[in-house]
Amino acid sequence: MISLTSPVETWAHRVRAGVKLAILSAATVALFALQDPAWLALSLVGAAALVVSGGWRFTRSALRSLRILIPFLLLVAAWHGVTGEFEAGLVVALRLLAALTLANFVTMTTRLTDMVAVAAVLLAPLRRLGFSTRAFELSIALVMRFTPAIAQKGGRLAEAWRARSVRRVGWQIVMPLAATALDDADQVAEALRARGGVDPT
C-alpha cells in the first residue's frame, strides 16, 4: 500500500473497507498461485482496468504513486537477464505490479479510519483474552500514513539532487532520507507522549 486516500470520489469509495480488504487478500493469494506469465499479464490488465474505472484524474494519481516501483522492476529485470531466467523475471515483475496496483487501488479508495476499524474487528479475539491491541492498531495507521509520505520525500530529495548535479541519483540520498524518517519518527513520538502515549497493558 503506497498511496494516501484519493480525494477523487469513485464508486469504490462506497464499498465497505472489510469487503475490499477481503477481496484484496484473496486476489493476492491467487496471484501468488499463478505461474503462467499470460495469466499474470491478464491479471495486470484487470487491475489496470479497475484503476481506470475511477476516471482520468484518479488514474493519473495512481500512476504517480506506482512510479516508485520502476527502479525495483528494472533491478529484477536486470538480475534475471544476467542469470538467463527471463520467464521467471517476467513472472515476478507481473505478479508484483498486479498485486501492488490492486493494493494501491484499495488504499486510494479507503479511508485510514475505516482500515483501522477493520483491524480492530479482526483483533477483537485478542482483546477478549485481555490483551491491549491499541498499539498494534496505531502502528498499522502509522505505517499506512507514513510509507507514502516517506516515498514522496524521497522523490523530492531525488529532484533536488538532479537540480544540483549532472550525475544520476544513487545511494547518496539514502542517508538524508533516513535522517528525515528518523526526525519524523521523533516528532510523532513526542506528539503521542504529549497526548498520553499508548496504554502498554
The three state secondary structure string of 18-33 is HHHHHHHHHHHHHHHH
84 and 46 within one domain: yes
Confidence (pLDDT) at 183 = 84
Gap between the Cα atoms of 156 and 139, Å rounded: 25
Supply 173's cell numbers: 540520498
User: Is the predicted pLDDT of residue 198 greater than 70, yes or no?
Assistant: no
Asked whether residue 120 is domain-assigned, the answer is: no
143-170: pLDDT as tens digits: 766 766 777 777 788 888 888 877 777 7
3-state secondary structure (DSSP) of residue 101 = helix
Total domains, the chain: 2
Confidence (pLDDT) at 1 = 47
User: Is the predicted pLDDT of residue 184 greater than 70, yes or no?
Assistant: yes
Mean pLDDT of the chain: 82
DSSP codes, 124-137: HHHHHTT---HHHH
- Residue ending a domain, choose from 78, 110, 142: 110
Asked whether residue 125 is domain-assigned, the answer is: no
Give the angle subtended at the CA of 37 by the CAs of 33 and 42, to the nearest 5°. 90
146 and 76 within one domain: no
87 and 159 within one domain: no
18-59: pLDDT as tens digits: 999 999 999 999 999 998 999 999 999 999 999 999 999 999
3-state secondary structure (DSSP) of residue 94 = helix
Asked whether residue 140 is domain-assigned, the answer is: yes
88 and 7 within one domain: yes
1 and 100 within one domain: yes
Helices (H), the chain: 17-33, 37-52, 56-66, 70-83, 86-108, 112-122, 124-128, 134-164, 174-194
105 and 71 within one domain: yes
| Residue 53 DSSP code | T
99 and 27 within one domain: yes
Mean pLDDT value of segment 163-178 = 78
Asked whether residue 83 is domain-assigned, the answer is: yes
82 and 147 within one domain: no
Asked whether residue 118 is domain-assigned, the answer is: no
Mean pLDDT value of segment 3-8 = 73
Gap between the Cα atoms of 21 and 103, Å rounded: 9
Range of the domain at 17: 1-110
141 and 52 within one domain: no
Confidence (pLDDT) at 197 = 66
109 band by pLDDT with thresholds 50, 70 and 90: very high
184 and 88 within one domain: no
User: Is the predicted pLDDT of residue 3 greater than 60, yes or no?
Assistant: no
For residue 37, CA distances in Å to 33, 44, 91, 105, 146 come to 12, 10, 5, 22, 33
Identify the residue with better confidence: 4 or 182. Answer: 182
102 and 4 within one domain: yes
Work out the percent of the chain whose per-residue pLDDT is above 70.
93
Determine which of 31-35, 50-54, 103-107, 133-137 has the lowest per-residue pLDDT on average. Answer: 133-137
103 and 182 within one domain: no
